[in-house]
Amino acid sequence: MGRSITPTIEGGLLVAITIILGLVTVYVPLIGMLVEFFCAVPLAVLTARQGAAKGFTALVVTFILLSMLISPLLSVRLTLSCGICGIALGWCVRKNFNAVKIFFITLVVASAAQVVSIGLLIAIMDVNLIEMQIDMLRESFNESFALYEDMGVDKERIAEAKSQVEPALQTLIFLMPTVIMLTALINAVAAYLTAHWIFPKLQMKIPTLPPFAQWKLPSLFFYTAIIGGLGIYWGFTRGWTEIYEISLNLLIVSGIIGAVQGFALLSFLFDRYKVSKLIRRFLYVIAILNMFLLQIIAITGLLDTLFDYRKKFFDGR
């Protein structure tokens, strides 16, 4: 933004950009999915420049205008999932927090925004959105099975596949807290990465996260994985559905954290032994696609949060 532009005009321009991005997100297929990642940035820029009060004012204006142009329900989702996330990020930058603290606060705010968004939609629409999504998935599977049957696929194989769908859908219901957390994580990552790309172009500074090979996540997740595994056993063998559901989410979230830590350890080893980028990418793809290797990496990562192999065997170098 040029120095001759007043704060009011700057705020109006950033609100207009947010609204345009929101409209593209809703009305342009495929491209809109990518554009949504940028929706948080204008409000992050405004908040970083002019403060949280101006950011929230712009958010309210954006919500009102988007409600008039599209629908209040879609506006709620966009303003909460993207707008609040952008304001949190911009406020952290304005406070000169370090990169880890910025990302953590943005993630917490994004998670809370997801919960509030779903709660508001359930209250307004008076329907169970989770059950509705599961029913849509069930219907989609049934249509696919009908198509396969028309194509002459063996009925026994179709029946076997059908018998596996319902347990998978029930498990998905149990995992909705994890799904919400992953959605918030994607929003936080998208907001941080896009801001990290755009802020320097506007002569604005934003801290950089440590190199991936140096990441060290809390050892708390090693213990939550153990608790989750024990809880799944007790919940399954004794029919305690609530314990089983909580423990399943706890174990999967811990496993995801372990996988991130495991890949960070792998990146450290690649750096230490000067493995080429091409071979690295090939090995990363193999590890991600192979469930057994992915589990080994996740377990190793969880152990690394506790023992810190880089410091133990390589003095962190």
CA dist 280 and 257 (Å) reads 20
CA dist 73 and 10 (Å) reads 27
**Domain for residue 103, yes or no?**
yes
Residue finishing a domain among 202, 237, 264? 202
Task: Say yes or no: 114 and 49 in one domain.
Answer: yes
Task: Say yes or no: 65 and 183 in one domain.
Answer: yes
Residue 310: both structure tokens together: 């880089």
Task: Say yes or no: 185 and 251 in one domain.
Answer: no
Are 195 and 41 in contact by the 8 Å Cβ rule? The answer is yes
Residue finishing a domain among 141, 167, 202? 202
**Domain for residue 195, yes or no?**
yes
Residue finishing a domain among 137, 169, 202? 202
Orientation angle between helical segments 291-307 and 220-238, nearest 10 degrees: 130
**Domain for residue 259, yes or no?**
yes
Residue 212: both structure tokens together: 């991936």
Task: Say yes or no: 194 and 275 in one domain.
Answer: no
**Domain for residue 133, yes or no?**
no
Residue with tokens 């811990």: 254
Mean pLDDT by 10 residues, the chain (317 residues): 68 90 82 82 92 92 89 81 90 93 92 84 69 70 75 75 74 80 88 90 89 92 94 87 89 94 94 91 93 94 92 69
**Domain for residue 164, yes or no?**
no
Domain with 222, as residue range(s), is 212-314
Note the pLDDT of residue 1.
43
CA dist 64 and 117 (Å) reads 16
Residue 147: both structure tokens together: 């198509």
Reported as type and span, the H/E element at residue 90 is: helix 84-94
**Domain for residue 118, yes or no?**
yes
Task: Say yes or no: 255 and 195 in one domain.
Answer: no
Task: Say yes or no: 196 and 310 in one domain.
Answer: no
**Domain for residue 1, yes or no?**
no
Task: Say yes or no: 77 and 187 in one domain.
Answer: yes
Residue 207: both structure tokens together: 């801290």
Task: Say yes or no: 192 and 217 in one domain.
Answer: no
Task: Say yes or no: 234 and 191 in one domain.
Answer: no
Burial 222-231, CB ≥16 within 10 A → b, else e: bebbeebbeb
Using only C-alpha atoms, what is the Rg of the chain? 23
**Domain for residue 139, yes or no?**
no
Note the pLDDT of residue 2.
44
Task: Say yes or no: 186 and 218 in one domain.
Answer: no
- 110-160 pLDDT, tens digit per residue, is 888 888 887 877 777 666 666 666 776 777 777 777 777 777 777 777 777
Task: Say yes or no: 222 and 241 in one domain.
Answer: yes
Task: Say yes or no: 228 and 271 in one domain.
Answer: yes
Task: Find the angle CA(224)-CA(241)-CA(223) to the nearest 5 degrees.
Answer: 5
The structural domain count of the chain equals 2
- CATH number, domain with residue 90: 1.10.1760
